[in-house]
Amino acid sequence: MEERWSALPEAIWIAIIFLIVIGGILLGYFTPTEAGGVGAFAVLFLSLLQRNLTFKKYLTSLKETIRTTGMVIMLIAGSMVLGHFITATMIPQIAADWIVSLPLNRYVIMAIIFFIYLLGGSFIEDLAFIILATLSSSLRS
């Protein structure tokens, strides 16, 4: 129990930052993007205040951020290429015509679509699947 009480001050700071970010969004003070910036600044300020952030830790954080950003950009680029390929080969139109011609109830078709999304979300990383599904569907229209 003593460990819990000793860890409470650190948790209070995180709770305050959380309340500022979520409260600011809910009260309309800033948008979710601005809230992300406010939260990042608050965490940076807190780490500088507590003197936890060294230059070496900062560089490590910067390297991980660049790496993650590069991966997301590559996912978006790959999804766009795949979306153009899918659009050029008319796969969505062929698939839609095939699904419409099936003698199935519309609820069964919706269940099949849900199953495909469930399957895709199970094997592909969430962010990659969301980008893949939204970009390829937005390129069709």
User: DSSP label at 89?
Assistant: T
Backbone angles phi and psi of 25, in degrees to 5? -70, -50
- Give the per-residue pLDDT at 93: 79
Segment 38-61 mean pLDDT: 90
Distance CA 130, CA 75 (A): 10
Contact between residue 132 and residue 82 where contact means Cβ atoms under 8 Å apart: yes
Which range in 10-19, 29-38, 42-51 is most confidently predicted, on average pLDDT? Answer: 29-38
- Residue 26, pLDDT > 80, answer yes
Segment 8-28 mean pLDDT: 91
Amino acid at 7: A
C-alpha triplet 24, 29, 33: angle, nearest 5°: 75
What whole-number percentage of the chain has pLDDT above 90?
30
Q: Which residue has the higher pLDDT, 55 or 10?
A: 55
Distance CA 97, CA 104 (A): 13
Instruction: For residue 29, name the pLDDT band (cuts at 50, 70, 90).
Output: very high
Instruction: For residue 4, name the pLDDT band (cuts at 50, 70, 90).
Output: confident
- Give the per-residue pLDDT at 135: 64
Domain ranges for the chain: 1-53, 67-141
Distance CA 128, CA 123 (A): 10
Segment 42-54 mean pLDDT: 88
- Residue 2, pLDDT > 90, answer no
The tokens for 139 are: 């390129």
Distance CA 91, CA 98 (A): 10
- Residue 94, pLDDT > 70, answer yes
